[in-house]
Copies of this chain bind each other. A is one copy, B any other.
């Protein structure tokens, strides 16, 4: 269901690699990010095929102009996020025209993605993480308490907590195994974690700002979604379990969070909108103030792969459907602001672990372990992550009649803990 010409069937780019089958970044995607090249400061770019199109260089050539391009050309995408969805839609329109087959090619404005360094789209000002997958909550909850598998509020609101903004890092930064306090053989120890886990999530970058005390209603909350990324909410289960009652996760999560650096805009994902799944059997209806009359779900197939130091290539251990999420990103925005909390441009929200109902759709190791250790094709097995292990997330949005688009990768490798 293309919504504008930027999704027109058959549209291709003069950048040849963008036409490769299975490419994450065809011209229908045009994700924005902050990149740098040797000796030059971080600046805004667009992923196209295996290249980055340099927005500030295109402006210097007179090919792009206007406030939206200006806002996307600096060291952070926050100025564009502040301008709201109309600005990013306008920029997308102009970038699509510049990069389309038939437009004058400008290879001098391209940098190979393999030759650039990617940065955060912007330093997140606040980071809130949700827990919006029925299957994630139900699977783990049923293992603890079969009679009450879900949080009491699960059907009434998207459960969430404030997470740590300062430790969000772009894909590729190694993850130091943290120390912390936990129960081991009945004793409380302070030691490196023995339960290093990942959580496969979708992240959302926020557009615009609601004034404090002034909620963004569900009818408008989709307009607060600037764009999307993959997010690894690295979690250490032993530390987390010990510290959580009653205030929730703290040091079990705050040591590191990884995000994929390309922001797939809400405009790029428009063709992949899909209704939320039906409510669970016997569940109460969605509260009126969180009821959306749009198709707010997104048809995105998400994958987590694991590569140990002994493996020649990553092995996919999770394949999870974002369209199964119980609450939508727009509902999360509406809930988050329903008490008047001011969401800011450049805030980051996480969906929570995106698990599906099937075996193989468990989107964190804690869930996988309910069926047993991870068996890897080279004969190794894993309970939690070991030093040197890399976790790589990828994803594709898919819908009938639409060119599939991807997110690039969100990768992190575990470094050994510091010595005592």
Chain A residues with CB under 8 Å of chain B are 125-126, 128, 131, 151-153, 156-157, 159-167, 169, 176, 178-181, 188, 190, 212-213, 215, 236, 239, 242-252, 254-256, 284, 287-289, 335-336, 338-344, 347, 415, 418
Q: A166-B126, A190-B287 are in contact. Are A339 and B254 (CB under 8 A)?
A: yes
Top 10 A-B pairs, shortest CB-CB distance: A248-B248, A176-B213, A178-B339, A161-B247, A162-B162, A251-B339, A247-B248, A254-B341, A255-B339, A255-B340
Assembled-state Cα–Cα distance A157/B179 (Å): 13
Assembled-state Cα–Cα distance A159/B160 (Å): 18
A247:B343 contact, CB within 8 angstroms: no
Q: A181-B287, A254-B339, A255-B341 are in contact. Are A246 and B163 (CB under 8 A)?
A: no
What are 24 A-B interface contacts by the 8 Å CB criterion?
A125-B166, A126-B165, A157-B181, A157-B243, A159-B243, A160-B250, A161-B161, A161-B250, A164-B341, A166-B341, A166-B342, A166-B347, A167-B341, A167-B342, A176-B212, A176-B340, A178-B340, A179-B339, A212-B255, A212-B256, A213-B256, A247-B248, A247-B249, A254-B341
Q: A190-B289, A212-B167 are in contact. Are A180 and B338 (CB under 8 A)?
A: yes
Chain B residue with Cβ nearest A287: B190
Q: Determine the chain B residues whose CB is within 8 A of the CB of A167 once the complex forms.
A: 212, 341-342
Assembled-state Cα–Cα distance A150/B343 (Å): 33
Q: Determine the chain B residues whose CB is within 8 A of the CB of A246 once the complex forms.
A: 151, 244, 248
Assembled-state Cα–Cα distance A161/B236 (Å): 16
A179:B347 contact, CB within 8 angstroms: no
